[in-house]
Amino acid sequence: MTQPTLFEGVFPAITTPFQADGTVDHDFLSEHARWMMRAGSRGIVPLGSLGEGNTLEEAEKTAVLRTLVSALGSAPVIPGIGSLSTAGAVRLAQAAQDAGCQGLMVLPPYVYTSDWREMKAHMAAVISATDLPVILYNNPIAYRTDFQPAHILELAQEHANVRAVKESSADVRRVTALAATLPAHVELMVGVDDLLLEGVAAGATGWIAGLVNAYPAESVQLFNLARGGQLKEAADLYRWFLPLLRLDTGIKFVQLIKQVQAEVGRGSAQVRAPRLPLTPDEVREVQGLVAQASARQPALV
């Protein structure tokens, strides 16, 4: 059997669980990560957008990484590396390597958005801070910085440890452009939940997923069916999953996904300010989607 490539498979963008007092729940974090790995995930991606990384202090981020590395042993922990400053992102990248992480997902800087010259300088500094393999994270909707295929190719040509791109523009044409542009050593990863089938069809080899936090077995099976060319079976499962997967695409995607976790008994809906809990109407909407999914739960193989 052919061995999976470096970033091939399902990589949960793990949510950060909080206790009632607002501190990180490290015990649940460990159990939750192990549960998703047992379902067939390839590695864990903490501290990203879904992980509320921009609300965590630097010491909290390092503590999350140490907890996950300890909990998962040899399984890859690939944290999101984001900061208001380049120096802060470099420090976090180096702390991740010191903690035993096996890769990095590098974000553009929070808040400040400028031209490619400045963005490239930031990305290059973080990429060069360690020798760990790097996933470039392109999410223009969230971060107002759009790494064009030519920009990504430029970084990949200049930095040998750039090994993948998480593409979250939600533009399937961008996915196909990247698939045609990227060198062989740089993998393409789907970064939005409701573009999985289309992304794999275009050539994506990995999925950094959100609803996997509540439905890991279904997520892994969907990915495996798509990658294996079992298109009818994949399409059937995708249709069942899509109402939930679409929760990953709005402004309140963190609250919505955490609410799904709470509904299926796999976590708390608690978020950290400035995010607020969902309104009662929003909670009822999520409960309806979960009930609908439960009533038509597919048989998994």
Q: What's the CA gap between 203 and 61, in Å, rounded?
A: 33
Q: What is the pLDDT of residue 2?
A: 61
Q: Which of 61, 112, 120, 166 is catalytic?
A: 166
pLDDT at residue 70 in the model: 98
pLDDT for position 165: 96
For the chain, which residues score pLDDT lower than 50?
1
Indicate the domain borders of the chain: 9-230
CA 139 from centre of chain: 11
Distance CA 116, CA 113 (A): 9
CA distances from 67 to 27, 144, 169 (A): 9, 31, 31
Is residue 166 part of the annotated active site? The answer reads: yes
Token pair for residue 241?
């999953």
Residues 72-126: pLDDT tens digits? 999 999 999 999 999 999 999 999 999 999 999 999 998 888 899 999 999 999 9
Task: Report pLDDT for 297.
Answer: 86
Q: What is the pLDDT at residue 145?
A: 84
pLDDT of residue 190: 95
Does residue 178 contact residue 188 with C-beta atoms inside 8 Å? yes
Q: Are 188 and 217 in contact (CB under 8 A)?
A: no
For the chain, the farthest-separated pair of C-alpha atoms sits apart, in whole angstroms, at 52
Tell me how far apart the alpha carbons of residues 90 and 128 are, in angstroms, rounded to a whole number: 9
d(CA 77, CA 90): 17
pLDDT given for residue 176 in this prediction: 87
The type of residue at 149 is P
Q: What are the phi and psi torsion angles at 187 (to 5°)?
A: -90, 155
- Give the Å distances, CA to CA, from 148 to 27, 211, 295: 40, 27, 42
C-alpha span between 301 and 79 (Å, rounded): 31
Torsions phi, psi for 130 (to 5 deg): -140, 175
Fold of 9-230: TIM Barrel (3.20.20)
Is 137 an active-site residue?
yes
Catalytic residue among 61, 137, 215, 258: 137
Encoding tokens for residue 296?
């038509």
- Please give the DSSP secondary-structure letter assigned to residue 144: S
